[in-house]
Amino acid sequence: MRRFFKKLFEKIIEGILFLSSTVTSLAIVLIVIFLFREGFALFGRSPVEEGFVIAVNNKNPVSEIKASQIKDIFDGKITSWKELGGNIEDIVLFRTDDISNYFSEEELGENLEHVPAKISELINKTPGIIAFIPEKFTENDFAGKIITTDKITAGKFLAEKQWYPTAQPAAQFGALPLILGTLWVSFAAILFALPLGLATAIYMAEIANEKTRRVMKPLIELLAGIPSVVYGFFGLIVIVPLIQKVFNLPVGETGLAGSIVLGIMALPTIITISEDAIRTTPLSMKEASLALGANKWQTIHRVIIPYAISGITAAAILGIGRAVGETMAALMVTGNAAVIPHGLLQPLRTIPATIAAELGEAPQQGLHFKALFALGCILFLMTLGINLLVEYISSKRKNISR
C-alpha cells in the first residue's frame, strides 16, 4: 500500500511538472503569435489616416502619389504638380478646417450640413487642389478624384529612413534609423562590457583570495538589482556632461552615452555567470596543465576559458539581451532622435525606447499602434539572430579547442 501511494505521489508530481512546462511553453508561443499577428497587420495598408482620403480635381492627370511625396507636399517642399508628373500649375493645399476660408457660414449651413457638397464644389473648380478630407464626404455625388497611395510593405518599413508615425495626412514608417540605432548602441555596449566583465570574472574566480571574493561578489550582484531608471539618471547627470565636455559636442545625449550606460548595466550578468562557469573547471585539469609546465596565465588561457566557453557564451547572450532590450536608460541618455546614426557621438533612438515612448500615445488598433508591434517583431528577430550567431560561434570554438 505504501508503495502504491508513493508511485501515485510521484505521478502527481510528474503531472504538475509537465503541466507547468506545458503552460509556460504555450504562454511563450501565444505571446509570439500575438506579437507577429499585430505587427504584420500593418503591412498592406494605406499610410493615410483611417477614415480619410486624399482627393484632387477630376482633370488632374496624377492618380497615385507616394506617402513621402504627400508629406513633402503638405510640408511645402513640393509646390507644383509638374514635380509629380502632372500639369504645370501650383499645388493648392486644403484641409477640412480650411473650408471657412472659401465659404461663409450661411453657405455651409447652420449645422454644417452643406460642408460635403461645398468641399466637392471647391475641388471641382480648383484645378491645382489637393484635399485631405474625411472619407464620408466623398460618398454622394463627389466631383473630385480620390488619389491612391503606395501601401506599406515590409521592405519599405525596413528600408525607409523617416520615422514620422503621427504625420498627417500620410504617416511615415521608416524603421531603418531605429534598427541602426539599436545595433550601434547594443554592440558598442557589449564591446565595452564583455572584455571588462570577463576580466573581472577571471580575477574573482582564479586570482582573488576568498576574502576579496566574498566582498566583491555581493557588490557586483547588487548592481543587477538597481532599477534601470537609476542607471539612466546616473548617465544623465555624470556620463552625458562628461561626453559633451570631452568631445566638445553641442549635446552629450549620444549613442556613446547609451553604450556606456547599457554596458554598465550588462556587467553584473556577464560577471556573475562567467565566474560561475569558470569555477566549474575541474581542479584536475588545472593541476595537469600546471604539472606539464604551463604557468597560471597559460592555464587560464588554454584550459579554463575553453572549458568554460559555454557558460561565457551564455553570459554574453544574456548581456546582449539586456543591452538590446533596455528601454528607460536608453531613452534618457541617447538623445531620442530618429535619424540615421553615422557614429556613436550623435543622438540616436533605439527600438525599445521608441516603443516605450510612443505606445501610450498610439490609438488602439491604429497604424501607429500596429507599427510599434512591428518594431517589437524586429526586436524579437534581432535578439533571436544574436543568440543563434553566438551559439554558432561558440560551437565552432568548441570544435577548434578539441
Q: Per-residue pLDDT tens for 214-240?
A: 888 888 888 878 888 899 999 999 999
Distance separating alpha carbons of residues 284 and 273, to the nearest angstrom: 22
Q: Measured between alpha carbons, how far is 327 from 354 in angstroms, rounded to an integer?
A: 8
Q: 176-401: which CATH topology?
A: MetI-like fold (1.10.3720)
pLDDT tens per residue, range 374-385: 999 999 888 888
In the chain, which residues fall in CATH 3.40.190.10?
52-151
- Going by C-alpha positions, the residue among 187, 184, 193, 157 that lies closest to residue 172 is 157
Q: Summarize pLDDT for 315-330 with one digit per residue, the tens.
A: 888 887 777 888 888 8
| pLDDT digits 0-9 by tens, 32-52 | 899 999 999 999 998 988 889
Amino acid 336: pLDDT: 87
Q: Whose grid coordinates read 514620422?
A: 164
Q: Is the pLDDT of residue 400 over 70?
A: no
With bands split at pLDDT 50, 70 and 90, how would you rate the model's confidence at 134?
very high
How many CA atoms lie less than 13 Å away from 369 in the CB half-sphere? 12
> Can you name the CATH fold of 52-151?
D-Maltodextrin-Binding Protein; domain 2 (3.40.190)
Q: By mean pLDDT, which of 3-12, 28-37, 64-73 is the weakest?
A: 3-12
pLDDT at 238: 93
* Range 245-268 average pLDDT: 91
pLDDT band for position 371 (cuts 50, 70, 90) = very high
The answer on pLDDT for 397 being more than 60 is no
Spatial distance between the Cα atoms of 80 and 90, rounded to a whole number of angstroms: 4
Per residue in 50-62, pLDDT tens? 889 999 999 899 9
The mean predicted confidence, pLDDT, of the chain is 87
State mean pLDDT over 189-202.
90
Question: Residue 310: is its pLDDT beyond 90?
Answer: no
Residue ranges of the chain that CATH labels 1.10.3720.10: 176-401
* Mean pLDDT calculated for residue range 160-183: 90
- Contacts for 401 with CB less than 8 Å, ≥ 6 apart: 306, 309
Q: What is the pTM of this model?
A: 0.85
* Short-list 231, 235, 280, 229, CA closest to 255: 235
pLDDT attached to residue 348: 92
**Cα–Cα distance measured from residue 402 to residue 396, given in angstroms and rounded to the nearest whole number:** 10
For residues 164-193, average pLDDT: 90
Amino acid occupying residue 338: A
pLDDT in tens, 66-86: 888 988 998 889 999 999 888
d(CA 122, CA 369): 34
Name the residue among 263, 275, 280, 267 with its Cα closest to residue 222. Answer: 267
